[in-house]
Chain A
Amino acid sequence: MSASAVQPEPVLKVEGVSKRFGGVQAVSEVCFSFGAGQICGLIGPNGAGKTTLFNLVSGVYVPDAGVIRILGARTDGVPAHRIARLGVARTFQNPQLFDALTVRENVMVGLAQAAPPTLASSLLAFSRRRRREEEDRVAADRHLARVGLTTASDRMAKDLSFGEQRLLEVARALATRPRLLLLDEPASGLSQGEVAQLVALLRDLRADNLSIFLIEHDVSTVMNVADHVVVLNYGRKIAEGAPQGVRNDPAVIEAYLGSAGGAAPRVSTERAPTGRQMLSAEKLVSFRGELQVLREVSFDVIEGEVAGIVGPNGAGKSTLLGTVAGLYPLQAGHVRLGDKSTEGQPAERVVQLGISLVPERRGIFTGLSVRENLALGAYARYRGSQRQQIDADIENVFALFPRLRELASARAGSLSGGEQQMLAIGRGLMARPRLLMLDEPSLGIAPRLVAEIFRVLNTLKEGGTSILIVEQNARSVFEIANRVSVLVRGRIVMTGTPAELADDARVVEAYLGGRRPSSGSGMQAPPMPIEPAAPPSVQ
């Protein structure tokens, strides 16, 4: 943090805050604070606990331990609407607008905070009501002008573009005359131009001495706009300070791209892929809500290989796997497994065809035992009276993950994050898939366990299983993949062998930003080279 002579009372002060969900410690003992008129950015890889921390600050969750002070008042355990009354306004990752209201009316609802209208006053006192309406209208237009939505004021909120909806949320938040603005992933889903507009707006607001706290996976935007950056990983704060320093912090780079000298084994060349196409995806297009996530993504997986797709958070990786697995509708494009088309099949059918997805955040059945979870993995191929076969397969999974054997009858919800991930992978294998797809297996898991998991993946690969792995943790993928593609903003921007990509500066750039023409002078630090991979630690 830049040294300043007078340090006023911090706008937001988080002291030793922890939050646990079941067996997973989402946030642990986080402390940070920042002062008035600053923009504070909270970043961290997927699963680091950003959203949980944000929800703790905004009053959605109550912390298990620790104290949160906003503008000097203690707010942990205070309902969201009371926190808002303290002068805190927020936006949402998926804009939560009042669809049936016009743009101006959306802002006018925000104005209502000062004196929430009562039933009696609305039914009576017509003239006063009308006068206040007029005042509110003028005030709303002022806020709309500020975010540049003046011309849209009479349109319905639901007819706005995604970017405009974001701006409208900011305008609505401003209408409550906040002293602290909380922004939940403000840049997600925006085009480059829209992001630039947003950054300009945030700077403009800061100039008015408004404090802003934002979480964002688009690190380059945060680096660009924030005065103060807090970095989380595994629910803990790993770095804090000015963007410049944080950006060059090896711990941060490692958090994002993975450990370079980790225990993960090198690519084994003993068994080459056969060359036959296992999975081919052509020009996949998919939407989540109104937002286009996949923009004609094409890739393939060769039988027996590990294919990796890496990219920053929000690039569309999970949507890509979910679309292939049949969880999300495919708007356009073709998917084939071997010679069979799987497009348009529901998920429960796709798994029968031989594609098994280990979903993001694991999706284990928390109320069932570990053994029951594993057994259900074979549901797609279960044809009665095959219990013994299933039990044999469970034994195989236990052989891969000995830890699970000890936990066989434990409730899955009581497992730690890493153990749950092992369980999820084991469960995925139980389907005896022709293609195993893994969505961020390293998410929120301690490095030791990540290494363990990647060791198992390597074993599987040597056993001939085709694997498609999607990761934010690029370096760990480089360790085991035959080929890696980089997905950015719904497009595959490059594909190559790990060796090719490891030296490509564009990969780091895709994650942490860098030479962006619009960036300020301080933002042009040279891209961080990826350290050469350590020699393999063969089992």
Chain B
Amino acid sequence: MSEVVQFLLSGIAAGGIYALIAVGFVTVYNVLGIINFAQGEFAMFGALVAASLVARGVPLVAAIPLAIAVTAATGALTERAILRPAAGSSDVVRIIITIGVSIGLRGLALTVWSSKSYALPQFSGGEPVRILGAALALQNFWVLGVAAAIMIALYLLFERTYFGSALRACVMSPNASRLMGISPSVMSLFAYTMSAALGAMAGIVVTPISLATYDMGIMLGLKGFVAAVLGGLVSAPGAVVGGLLLGIIESFAAGFLSSGYRDAIAFALLLAVLGIRPTGLFARMAEQRRV
């Protein structure tokens, strides 16, 4: 019994992390129309910056926003210096440019932080929550809380603010929104910067659980991407549901079938979804952009 509960709790915890990354993929995909393979690297970057700051004695509450800001600035720079000049290139080339960005960021991190692991303290001290012999560290609640908070914030931003409606307008019809005075270039900068910041938040909030290394972005990025695809790639709520679902399925499959094949499960799920419902489990067809 305690096993099943633990599988569920661990699955939800992992799913929260995937969801956070997935939301970043969705944001960039919606506005720039490309899959940003550097998404996981932003998580890594944020986590390492935060860990370094804390190691240098900066209090956690200051280190976190600082690290998010540094990562967001890196994202903004990337968008302006690399993606914007390539705006006229084909999707394929732009996607591969994001692969280049991810390799470059990883290399930069390796140079600065070496291959060592870095830790962050839990955001709040205290005993883990134990239910029926299963346990969930408090930090996992932070992960879920941050995921939920980001979801709500994104919902409010997109659905309830003027700027958010401009961003959505730009996704729906870039040319018509230009006629309103909305600059697609500014929106693209905003979206990329925001997704870098989202990535950084994800990286920072998981570091107390998973520790931070220069190559943590690879798996994080891939799993987050799968979660985003499960959710249809265009919808942030879909991404969150996709992330949670992925985490739970992975956890149960690893527990009951084979722990060695744990990572394969996410991708098998991806193949299954592509076979059955290529537009994702939760996507509304009408909102589908090009995949």
The answer, yes or no, to whether B179 is at the interface (CB within 8 Å) is yes
A348 touches B178 (CB 8 A): yes
A367 to B288, CA, bound (A): 12
Residues on A with C-beta less than 8 A from B166 are: 376, 379
A375 touches B165 (CB 8 A): yes
A382 touches B162 (CB 8 A): yes
* Partner-contacting stretch, out of A90-98, A100-108, A350-358: A350-358
Among A351, A379, A381, chain B packs the most CB atoms within 10 A around the CB of A379
B168 touches A368 (CB 8 A): yes
Among B178, B180, B286, chain A packs the most CB atoms within 10 A around the CB of B180
The answer, yes or no, to whether B138 is at the interface (CB within 8 Å) is no
Report B158 CB to chain A, min CB distance, Å: 10
* Partner-contacting stretch, out of B52-60, B109-117, B169-177, B262-270: B169-177
B180 touches A351 (CB 8 A): yes
Residues on A with C-beta less than 8 A from B182 are: 348, 376, 379
Report B166 CB to chain A, min CB distance, Å: 6
Chain A, residue nearest B176 (CB): A363
Chain B, residue nearest A325 (CB): B179
Chain B, residue nearest A356 (CB): B179
B180 touches A367 (CB 8 A): no
A515 to B169, CA, bound (A): 48
Report 18 cross-chain contacts, Cβ distance below 8 Å, ordered by A residue: A326-B178, A348-B182, A348-B183, A349-B181, A351-B181, A357-B179, A363-B175, A364-B176, A365-B169, A365-B172, A367-B287, A368-B172, A375-B165, A376-B165, A376-B166, A376-B180, A379-B180, A379-B181
Query: How many residues does chain B have at the interface if contact means C-beta atoms less than 8 Å apart?
Result: 18
A359 to B173, CA, bound (A): 12
Interface residues as binary, A408-449 with B (CB distance below 8 Å gives 1, 0 otherwise)? 000001000000000000010001000000000000000000
Chain A, residue nearest B178 (CB): A347
Residues on A with C-beta less than 8 A from B165 are: 368, 372, 375-376
Given contacts A326-B178, A375-B165, 16 further A-B contacts (CB under 8 A): A346-B178, A347-B175, A348-B180, A348-B181, A349-B181, A351-B181, A363-B179, A364-B176, A365-B169, A367-B286, A367-B287, A372-B169, A376-B177, A381-B181, A387-B162, A427-B180
A361-412 contacts to B, CB under 8 A, are 363-368, 372-373, 375-377, 379-382, 387
Interface residues as binary, B157-197 with A (CB distance below 8 Å gives 1, 0 otherwise)? 00000100110110011011111111100000000000000
A352 touches B181 (CB 8 A): yes
Chain B interface, >50% SS class: helix
Query: How many residues does chain A have at the interface if contact means C-beta atoms less than 8 Å apart?
Result: 31
Residues on A with C-beta less than 8 A from B178 are: 326-327, 346-348, 351
Chain A, residue nearest B184 (CB): A348
A431 touches B180 (CB 8 A): yes
Residues on B with C-beta less than 8 A from A325 are: 179
Residues on A with C-beta less than 8 A from B176 are: 359, 363-365
A79 to B273, CA, bound (A): 24
Pick the contact of B173 from A349, A365, A375 — CB < 8 Å? Answer: A365
Report B262 CB to chain A, min CB distance, Å: 38
B179 touches A327 (CB 8 A): yes
Residues on B with C-beta less than 8 A from A326 are: 178
Residues on A with C-beta less than 8 A from B181 are: 348-349, 351-352, 379-381, 431
Residues on B with C-beta less than 8 A from A349 are: 181
B169 touches A368 (CB 8 A): yes
Residues on B with C-beta less than 8 A from A380 are: 180-181
A442 to B183, CA, bound (A): 28
Chain A, residue nearest B284 (CB): A367
| Given A376-B166, A382-B162: A347 touches B287 (CB 8 Å cut-off) | no
Residues on A with C-beta less than 8 A from B177 are: 365, 376
Interface residues as binary, B135-153 with A (CB distance below 8 Å gives 1, 0 otherwise)? 0000000000000000000
Report B188 CB to chain A, min CB distance, Å: 13
Chain A, residue nearest B182 (CB): A379
| Given A368-B165, A375-B162: A347 touches B172 (CB 8 Å cut-off) | no
A359 to B177, CA, bound (A): 11
Chain B, residue nearest A372 (CB): B165
Report B23 CB to chain A, min CB distance, Å: 19
Chain B, residue nearest A352 (CB): B181
Chain B, residue nearest A348 (CB): B183
A532 to B162, CA, bound (A): 49
